[in-house]
A = this chain, B = another copy of it.
Amino acid sequence: MDSNRSRPNRQRSALEPQRSRGKLRVASLMEAAAAVIAERGFESATMAEIAARAGSQIGSLYRFFPNKEVLADALIQRYGELINEAFGKIEGRATVLSVYELADSLVDFLVELHGESRAIIALMEARSEWSIKRAAFRNAALHRIAQILMRCSPLLRPETAEAIAVIVLHNMKTMKALTLEQGIATSPGATTELREMNRLYLASKLSEKRP
């Protein structure tokens, strides 16, 4: 069954707190949410644990985030902003980077974004029917990647760029997953291999179209 166990409040947006007290609280709430979701996954994360880890009470949590879904959306949105910035930096340097450097920047992108990235992956893995925002997030990321690719290699057709972006995004996630489970099970050379594959691939797609 899905998570809307009972009497869900369908009001869609997180309350904007007016005072800095409230802003602090919201920040610690979101941090806690990210941590708990990263540890347990979206479904297993409980609102009670999130509140407790933030040193708040369940009532406070619900004051700012009227339900779990909204909380997830807020997390995604915040992360989206971070990601946008980070993509912006890469995009700015797209023309001065070698193809290999660009490939590496992309594949290490999620890894270098510390903080809540694990939570976001957990969120994106959760059943995607749940939130349109999740799909939007994915599409935004895809677009940014495509744009970077096209800036690097202007002759690329947009549809091709999108298709490549899908692959690159997958590689990014794989790299993140690999570094998360590092030392546990995976052979240590895997990240090197992934980086190599990604370089090879992007080189073949971008170099030829480069001016």
On A, residues with C-beta under 8 Å from B are 1-4, 6, 8, 40-41, 43-44, 46, 49, 67-69, 125-127, 130, 135, 138-139, 159-160, 162-164, 166-167, 170, 174, 177-178, 185-190, 192-194, 196-197, 200-201, 204-205
Contacts and interface: CB of A to CB of B under 8 A. Distances in A.
6 contacts: A40-B127, A43-B44, A135-B185, A160-B189, A166-B178, A170-B194
A135 B189 CA distance: 19
A44 B178 contact: no
Number of copies: 4
Nearest to A2: B44
Given A2-B44, A200-B204, 20 more contacts: A2-B40, A3-B69, A3-B130, A4-B44, A41-B43, A41-B126, A41-B127, A138-B185, A159-B187, A162-B189, A163-B187, A163-B188, A163-B192, A163-B193, A166-B186, A166-B193, A167-B193, A170-B177, A193-B205, A200-B200
A135 B178 CA distance: 14
A160 B40 CA distance: 32
> Which of A130, A135, A185, A193 gathers the greatest number of chain B CB atoms within 10 Å?
A193
Nearest to A139: B185
Nearest to A130: B3
A65 B19 CA distance: 25
**Ranked 4 nearest A-B pairs via Cβ:** A163-B189, A2-B44, A166-B190, A197-B201
Given A185-B138, A189-B159, A44 B166 contact: no
A174 B139 CA distance: 17
Contacts of A69: 3
